[in-house]
Chains A and B, each alone.
Chain A
Amino acid sequence: MISLDAFSTLIMACLLLTACAPLILVVLWVKDFLSKQLW
């Protein structure tokens, strides 16, 4: 059975990684937009 520590680490790590995704996408969008590379 998975321990509380392992369970918490798994969930919190995934939550943190997911939270970073919008920042990455917005930064890329701004970069593409400024260099006129969106389309």
Chain B
Amino acid sequence: MTETTEFALNSSLGLTLVVLFGIAWIIFGWYLGRANKTHEDFALAGRNVGLALASATAMATWVTSNTTLVAPQLTYQFGIWGMVGYSFAALGLILFAPLAARIKKLMPNGYTSGDFIRLRYGQLAWWAFIIISIIYAFGWLISLGMAGGILLQALSGLDYHIGMTAILIICVGYTLFGGLRAVIATDFIQALIIIVGVVFIAWYLIDTVSLESIHQEVSSNHPQLLDLLFPAAIMFLFNNVFFGLGEIFHSNVWWSRALAFKGKVAFKAFLLGGLLWLPIPIVTGFIALAAPQLGIFPPSADMVGPMVAAEVLGKAGAIIVFIVVFSALASSLDSLLAATSDLITRDIYHKKINKQASDKHLMRFNGYSIIGLGVLTWLICLPQLATLGALLNFAGAFVASTIFPVVLGLYQPRLRGGYAAAAMVVGTLSGLAGYFLVGFYVAALVSCLVSAIICAIGVWRCRTVFDWQQMQEQESNA
């Protein structure tokens, strides 16, 4: 058995697919963008998104390259717990459902998660939060950009830099032309493509290789992958739950959606999106368990999913894998570009630099931010620094520290800004210490635990009560 080095597609076919999809998405984005007349239209799709598009965008955005590339990678490394643990990230979407309804109620005119932190906790906590948000956003953007390059390289042998550049240009293009409206509408189509493709690949794999033979091969030669008491894997499961909660609870990707969905749609959409997402990592992850039987030993663990699918389904399968992962990448990359550019435009530019900026000026600046983010991501992605899993889990130390400040900020009036800021800063530093001293699979756990202790002390020692009305009054003046 040797390393797999043959490519299922030739380079020109891979590039042709990217170009065709790119043109289609950009034209669609431009078409939808014609309805954007104000900055609110551009950033929040007019705050009137219905249940079908809302559920699909919640699900599709959470199906990232990480679900299609990292879930197989983690299954390959941690076995059964790798895929089950990854699917637990659905809890993030499901538990965000009541939070989304609360967000709509507290800040009906809000724009970003940064707005909430600033109004609820003040400047110090806002700085801690915005730094964490920007670091996380770049971590995710880089992970997605790298995944684009890795995907094309794994499937067609196309140079990593060309694939990564092409995917970034396409996503920047249609997000720039269409704003959140284009992001949500393309997410709906991408969600359908992803699910149908994933189901087809898994069904074909089961039909060709059979679950019995996969189970027999793994239990004979790699029994730890089917072991329900694999310690590092169990730790990973819990770590992933907190990581997922932190990612969703703090990120403006999800806050901007909560604010963009129609009144009572937010709760139902996140709940449904989470339930639809739950089984997907298990379906994508199990594909990796067939790798040893097929004699596939990928040069990088995050290539295992596409390589198994391409091996079993041949050229047609490689095209399907390519389209599925490309759609998954695009559905997350566009959301992240839109949400991060909103944070830069609203929280940093409008609130800190140019408070008198007109609506048109803000809309234009939002566009420049999208381009700037795309260029910066491209520059950082040029050297292929880490595997996707390692990069992803590094961010866990940052985001898990925000879980309790966000949740308590929404429901508990007895937590002040100083404690919220300390919880985020000390929680992040502790998580990073866990990452380097113990392993990536404890970073989010440690970060969340330390942050929770500081928040608990803050609530216990607090003598004043926050007036929720204050947020709406300040927001209406903002």
Binding site for B on A (CB under 8 A): 1-2, 4, 7-8, 10-15, 17-19, 21-22, 24-26, 28-29, 31-33, 37-39
Contacts and interface: CB of A to CB of B under 8 A. Distances in A.
Interface in B14-64: 45-46, 48-53, 55-56, 59
Nearest to A13: B279
Contacts of B198: 18
Given A1-B228, A12-B211, 17 more contacts: A1-B219, A7-B215, A7-B226, A11-B202, A15-B199, A15-B202, A15-B206, A17-B279, A18-B199, A18-B280, A18-B283, A22-B192, A25-B59, A28-B51, A31-B52, A37-B51, A38-B50
A14 B223 CA distance: 22
7 contacts: A1-B223, A4-B215, A8-B212, A15-B199, A15-B202, A29-B188, A37-B262
Contacts of B199: 15, 18-19
Contact of B195 (A4, A12, A22, A33): A22
Interface residues of B, number: 43
Contact of A15 (B80, B215, B283): B283
A29 B53 contact: yes
Contact of A18 (B50, B195, B215, B262): B195
A39 B226 contact: no
B195 A8 contact: no
Contact of A25 (B45, B56, B80, B219): B56
B227 interface: yes
Contacts of B223: 1
A26 B282 contact: no
A24 B276 contact: yes
A21 B226 contact: no
Contacts of B188: 25, 29
Can you list the 4 inter-chain pairs with the closest CB atoms, starting with the nearest? A14-B279, A28-B52, A29-B52, A14-B282
Contacts of B216: 4
A7 B215 CA distance: 8
Nearest to A29: B52
B80 A7 contact: yes
B245 interface: no
Given A18-B198, A26-B192, A4 B212 contact: yes
B132 to A, nearest CB: 32
B203 interface: yes
B53 A38 contact: yes
B52 A7 contact: no
Given A2-B226, A15-B203, A31-B52, A21 B59 contact: yes
A4 B80 CA distance: 12
A39 B49 contact: yes
B395 interface: no
B116 interface: no
Contacts of A17: 278-279
A32 B228 CA distance: 43
Contacts of B181: 39
A4 B45 CA distance: 48
A19 B283 CA distance: 10
Contacts of B276: 21, 24-25
B20 to A, nearest CB: 22
Given A15-B279, A18-B280, A28 B226 contact: no
Contacts of B50: 32, 37-39
B140 interface: no
A22 B203 contact: no
A13 to B, nearest CB: 7
Contacts of B51: 28, 32, 37
Given A25-B52, A32-B53, A39-B48, A1 B226 contact: yes
B191 interface: yes
A39 B58 CA distance: 15
Given A1-B226, A4-B211, A38-B50, A28 B283 contact: no
A11 B80 contact: no
Give the one of B80, B215, B286 with max A CB within 10 A. B215
B184 to A, nearest CB: 9
A18 B195 CA distance: 7
